[in-house]
A and B are shown apart, each in its own frame.
Chain A
């Protein structure tokens, strides 16, 4: 599938929507890469625009620290290419089943290394976007610093395809750490949160943390000497299954993520337990907490703790009732609608995937 094919599909949908009687219905497009995150966000609606065929690495310059790839390129292909040069996508995105780079950016989900390296948006350098009228637009570029114009490429990370088709993305890449070591500690939820925050304030090379069922795993990444020194300082026991473990956290195949209903709470890392049952896991130094089960008043509890809750895995009926994401304040919602309209005036791209209102 070429860029022109995608443009043509968007233009057709855009034109059809203009011919639909005012207030009448028309069929929107549902942008799809590998479909590995079909479970995530609002309900799926519209005719599938399969962009998985628009694939391939366009440019990779190890010494310039960037990679440009078409949206349908599997993350696995990108990561294998980077690994050959000792580099990586530092935000450690989940692959699930065959995730593409376009879907990775659109969903904006980062993995365990986020607490040290940053989120997907922190690595966005540029994008080739097809907006809701079928225009091809380039924002950002391939250089590390670029403040010419609004930072539209970062805005698109996590926009779930509601602002346009991410036809091509450029991401900053980083060298893989020379050394890694995972330490295991037995501790309670409360102790884990307090220790993680204490350690976070010290110059320690902690690249990931995962608490589950009374056990905390801490990954150290960096120069050999730094990892060794930190290990000496922190104690704990050395994990033997480290690589497998972190993949199971990244891919959410770890038993902590099992079950039909899973809530993802993003909180200030120091927040005390929000008083909910069903805590399954803590990541990102305390800033990401997973809860399972049909819980009442999760959103209120998360908000009181200074954060927000995403209904991450749930049957359709519950997702319909609760919405995937925490509701926006009215002024912010109005602003979102205006922004949506400025990229996709007819509302033909992934409507309702982020919020039911647009």
Chain B
């Protein structure tokens, strides 16, 4: 009942010869030094050199590349800016990387209809910048928004700090244009609501490049709130901070953003950003309110009251836009700040029910001792999405393996607490083994059938997102030995 991992044996010479007939020289990279920058995405611990990188400039070229790969049986890994954190865009050793970086034009910003039509290589922030003159913006704001592209956002169903109120990518995309591995073009969704047939948009968004290649995206734009203000509250106990999050929701408030940082995180950030965080606090909460000035004043008053009752120590409300941005600066700089105090860090992405936060954090503290590694926690508290940053030193033998095992244990605990192994970073190659923990065999088989309905050849991003049953069987065996042993080496194709 287990199926072996797919094996591809690409004839590189024939592949390159074919690609040369369909792409001009400046759209094709084949030399090792040119391929090197593509060997990994934002998850640098996993690397692989592709056989070639295609940089098409028109949809017709995308179609040609996909048809060629389909004909030759060559794996294709689509790639945006390569900022992903789960290795979803890590190349396949027997395949090509299809970079959409040159699809970087905003085709239309429609003020009246409040939407933008963009190519997949357009950066997330560029959409909001183009919409700003109309008082509109694109709501999902992943922390990498300066660099990450819409195509990648669609592939990963990216979130950000405002998604509790404004939704994820799946809530903000109206239509996509997709090329299948066979080179067929599909229009999915439309500017009108409730497109006929199955909600393929929901299936495509977050599918990690497994189902098709996106060549155009229509996104919803929303009016920019007149005002935003942040409340910053300190707690002497992480449990109290977690309860305060629940209390805000229970009071009927859906804040624009609700973030939590623990003491190791604020300690890493404060010297770097000088956001004014209370360094004695066990945890701090940042709660943003946006809307009309009247609305914000009303909500801030309610939030302040709830936080006081919940036992917050120091409570501060941003008094200016500059101060609001400074409060946020620390949260937004958490990853690089941790990067300053450790040679390497490994960012996790589990989601859990909000009420289990304190439990999760105390388990992580125990794991720090068990693995002998430190961990700072930043947390999209409003939607239960935890980003533990495990600190390690890749140059120390055994450090990475311990970090990886530490991370795996956090993810498996997330599932046990009623959550998920990934809230917004995707499975990619990184969490492929934990998929075996989150899903049963029949569920994984359903995913494989869905994949086959779009890509029967299995050439789009093979080995990512959904594990083969064979792989789960292997992992299961390893897992029985209490996860103390080193995880099986990732298969290198």
Contacts of B419 in A (CB 8 A): 141, 143, 146
Q: Which of A43-51, A209-217, A221-229 lies on the face that meets chain B?
A: A221-229
* Interface check B385, CB cutoff 8 A: yes
B197 near A325 (CB under 8 angstroms)? Answer: yes
B194 near A266 (CB under 8 angstroms)? Answer: yes
| CB under 8 Å from chain B, chain A span 107-158 | 108, 114, 118-119, 121-122, 131, 135, 137-139, 141-152, 154-155, 157-158
Q: Which of B32-40, B60-68, B185-193, B366-374 lies on the face that meets chain A?
A: B185-193
Contacts of B298 in A (CB 8 A): 223-226
Which of A137, A163, A198 neighbours the largest number of chain B CB atoms within 10 Å of its CB?
A137
Report the separation of the CA atoms of residues A310 and B194 in the bound assembly, to the nearest whole angstrom. Answer: 10
Q: Indicate with 1 or 0, residue by residue over A11-37, a CB within 8 angstroms of chain B CB atoms.
A: 000000000000000000000000000
Q: Which of A72-80, A251-259, A330-338 lies on the face that meets chain B?
A: A330-338
A201 near B112 (CB under 8 angstroms)? Answer: yes
Q: Indicate with 1 or 0, residue by residue over B235-273, a CB within 8 angstroms of chain A CB atoms.
A: 000000000001101101110000000000000000000
Q: Which of B14-22, B311-319, B393-401, B425-433 lies on the face that meets chain A?
A: B425-433
Chain B: CB-nearest residue to A341: B453
Chain A: CB-nearest residue to B352: A143
Q: Which of B72-80, B162-170, B336-344 lies on the face that meets chain A?
A: B162-170
Given contacts A64-B353, A203-B223, A306-B192, contact A145 B294 (CB under 8 A): no
B292 near A149 (CB under 8 angstroms)? Answer: no
* Interface check B205, CB cutoff 8 A: yes
> Of B252, B351, B421, B443, which one neighbours A138 at CB under 8 angstroms?
B443
Which of A143, A158, A308, A354 neighbours the largest number of chain B CB atoms within 10 Å of its CB?
A143
A343 near B193 (CB under 8 angstroms)? Answer: no
> Of B112, B202, B421, which one neighbours A121 at CB under 8 angstroms?
B202
Report the separation of the CA atoms of residues A307 and B352 in the bound assembly, to the nearest whole angstrom. Answer: 39
Contacts of A204 in B (CB 8 A): 223
A201 near B443 (CB under 8 angstroms)? Answer: no
Contacts of A198 in B (CB 8 A): 112
B295 near A151 (CB under 8 angstroms)? Answer: no
Report the separation of the CA atoms of residues A269 and B384 in the bound assembly, to the nearest whole angstrom. Answer: 34
Report the separation of the CA atoms of residues A198 and B113 in the bound assembly, to the nearest whole angstrom. Answer: 9
B192 near A141 (CB under 8 angstroms)? Answer: no
Given contacts A202-B135, A270-B113, contact A339 B198 (CB under 8 A): yes
Contacts of A145 in B (CB 8 A): 159, 163, 168, 351, 380, 383-385, 420, 423-424
Number of interface residues of B (CB under 8 A): 96
A225 near B295 (CB under 8 angstroms)? Answer: yes
* Interface check B136, CB cutoff 8 A: yes
Contacts of B112 in A (CB 8 A): 197-198, 201, 270
Chain B: CB-nearest residue to A335: B453
A343 near B446 (CB under 8 angstroms)? Answer: yes
* Interface check B442, CB cutoff 8 A: yes
* Interface check B200, CB cutoff 8 A: yes
A144 near B384 (CB under 8 angstroms)? Answer: yes
| CB under 8 Å from chain A, chain B span 292-346 | 292, 294-295, 297-299
* Interface check A242, CB cutoff 8 A: no
Contacts of B380 in A (CB 8 A): 145
* Interface check A288, CB cutoff 8 A: yes
> Of A86, A137, A151, A152, which one neighbours B252 at CB under 8 angstroms?
A86
* Interface check B465, CB cutoff 8 A: yes
Report the separation of the CA atoms of residues A223 and B170 in the bound assembly, to the nearest whole angstrom. Answer: 27
Contacts of B184 in A (CB 8 A): 331
Report the separation of the CA atoms of residues A176 and B206 in the bound assembly, to the nearest whole angstrom. Answer: 30
**Nearest chain B CB to A32 CB, angstrom units:** 21
Q: Indicate with 1 or 0, residue by residue over B446-477, a CB within 8 angstroms of chain A CB atoms.
A: 11011111100000000001100000000000
* Interface check A200, CB cutoff 8 A: yes
**Nearest chain B CB to A37 CB, angstrom units:** 15
Interface residues on A, range: 35 or more
* Interface check A239, CB cutoff 8 A: no
Contacts of B202 in A (CB 8 A): 121, 151, 154-155, 157
Q: Indicate with 1 or 0, residue by residue over B173-211, a CB within 8 angstroms of chain A CB atoms.
A: 000000000001111101111111111101101110011
**Nearest chain B CB to A136 CB, angstrom units:** 8
* Interface check A290, CB cutoff 8 A: no
**Nearest chain A CB to B342 CB, angstrom units:** 26
**Nearest chain A CB to B289 CB, angstrom units:** 10
**Nearest chain B CB to A262 CB, angstrom units:** 16
| CB under 8 Å from chain B, chain A span 183-239 | 197-198, 200-205, 222-226, 228-230
Report the separation of the CA atoms of residues A197 and B136 in the bound assembly, to the nearest whole angstrom. Answer: 13
* Interface check B488, CB cutoff 8 A: no
Given contacts A121-B199, A158-B199, A335-B453, contact A149 B424 (CB under 8 A): no
Which of B194, B249, B418 neighbours the largest number of chain A CB atoms within 10 Å of its CB?
B194
Report the separation of the CA atoms of residues A229 and B427 in the bound assembly, to the nearest whole angstrom. Answer: 45
> Of A138, A201, A332, which one neighbours B186 at CB under 8 angstroms?
A332
* Interface check B402, CB cutoff 8 A: no
Report the separation of the CA atoms of residues A310 and B353 in the bound assembly, to the nearest whole angstrom. Answer: 39
* Interface check A65, CB cutoff 8 A: yes
Q: Indicate with 1 or 0, residue by residue over B196-231, a CB within 8 angstroms of chain A CB atoms.
A: 111110110111001100000000000111100000
**Nearest chain A CB to B3 CB, angstrom units:** 16
Report the separation of the CA atoms of residues A62 and B253 in the bound assembly, to the nearest whole angstrom. Answer: 12
* Interface check A267, CB cutoff 8 A: yes
Contacts of A159 in B (CB 8 A): 198-199
A222 near B252 (CB under 8 angstroms)? Answer: no
**Nearest chain B CB to A51 CB, angstrom units:** 21
A342 near B135 (CB under 8 angstroms)? Answer: no
A342 near B134 (CB under 8 angstroms)? Answer: no
> Of A143, A176, A223, A226, which one neighbours B351 at CB under 8 angstroms?
A143
Contacts of B442 in A (CB 8 A): 135, 137
Given contacts A202-B135, A308-B190, contact A269 B113 (CB under 8 A): yes
* Interface check B70, CB cutoff 8 A: no
Report the separation of the CA atoms of residues A268 and B114 in the bound assembly, to the nearest whole angstrom. Answer: 10
Report the separation of the CA atoms of residues A117 and B387 in the bound assembly, to the nearest whole angstrom. Answer: 28
Report the separation of the CA atoms of residues A332 and B199 in the bound assembly, to the nearest whole angstrom. Answer: 12
Given contacts A226-B295, A338-B453, contact A150 B196 (CB under 8 A): no
Contacts of A203 in B (CB 8 A): 223-226, 291-292
A142 near B194 (CB under 8 angstroms)? Answer: no
Contacts of A62 in B (CB 8 A): 249-250
Contacts of B47 in A (CB 8 A): none
Given contacts A228-B294, A342-B449, contact A144 B383 (CB under 8 A): yes
Report the separation of the CA atoms of residues A176 and B110 in the bound assembly, to the nearest whole angstrom. Answer: 32
Contacts of B193 in A (CB 8 A): 114, 119, 266, 284, 287-288
Contacts of A61 in B (CB 8 A): 353, 355
Chain B: CB-nearest residue to A268: B191
**Nearest chain B CB to A81 CB, angstrom units:** 15
B225 near A335 (CB under 8 angstroms)? Answer: no
Chain B: CB-nearest residue to A65: B249
Contacts of A7 in B (CB 8 A): none
Q: List 12 A-B contacts (CB under 8 A).
A: A122-B171, A138-B443, A147-B156, A147-B423, A149-B465, A150-B207, A155-B202, A226-B291, A228-B294, A307-B191, A328-B197, A336-B198
New contact pairs (6) apart from A201-B114, A354-B197, CB-CB < 8 Å: A147-B426, A150-B450, A201-B223, A203-B225, A223-B298, A341-B453
For the complex of A and B, 4 pairs with smallest distance between CB atoms: A225-B294, A307-B192, A154-B202, A342-B449
Which residues does A use to contact B, with CB under 8 Å?
61-65, 86-87, 108, 114, 118-119, 121-122, 131, 135, 137-139, 141-152, 154-155, 157-159, 163, 174-176, 178, 197-198, 200-205, 222-226, 228-230, 266-271, 284, 287-288, 306-308, 310, 325-326, 328-329, 331-332, 335-336, 338-339, 341-343, 354-355
